[in-house]
Structure 1
Amino acid sequence: MVTVDECRQALHDLAAKLAANAEAQGHLDLDRTLACRVTDLGTAFHGRITGGRLIDIADGDDPKAKIALISSGADLIALIEGRLDVTRAIASRQVTIKANPFDLLKLRKLL
């Protein structure tokens, strides 16, 4: 079983990867709030995706977030580390992403 600290660190690792990708790919026109809800740990994190970067990561949920990612802690970490394919995870309902369909298309460019 994973811990809240491991999930938090995985999100910070994701932020670092996105920052590196943003440098290489250029500016992505997406500015949305993000909530990451970890179901098995009963915790959540929130932040903001802007310019292809994930910034302002903090503990706690944002019920008004424009994009919500819902998963178990282990699936969240596997997804961020690249051990879990996002398309398969969504199809098998291991991971749920609630977002506008156009935002989902833009998010695919980040990953």
Structure 2
Amino acid sequence: MLRSFMPTALMIVVPLASHGIASAADATQSVSFDVTTSNCKDTVVEMKQVCAPKGWHLIEGALSYRSQNGASRIEAIRVDSRCFKVTATATPLGEDCILNICNCRGRGWVKGDIVFTGTPE
């Protein structure tokens, strides 16, 4: 039985401190994700946008996965010099169905962090 996957999306804006930035250490921002599917067939997508204050731009750091299953992943895409859109996609492993009796091959999840460093323009 072929089933379609319907992604679910949630957008959260994570601003850096907008005033009083004195150094790159002050403009460093860590983004964390803990995204899990609720079943074996529907993909879940969570998005966060990270922006530096005016006069600063962001540099993408290393992505650190704490746990993941299947094709689940975290991706960062530069929006402009000040902002990144970070997307976490939890993709389940699907299910096997015979005569309307289904076996779940596994839910999807992704847990991880990515650090962005601010630098003056």
* TM value normalised by structure 2: 0.28
By relative contact order (CA 8 Å, sep 6+), the higher-ranking structure is: 2
Which is strand-richer, 1 or 2?
Answer: 2
The structure with more helix, counted as a fraction of residues: 1
Bigger Cα Rg: 2
TM-score using structure 1 length: 0.30
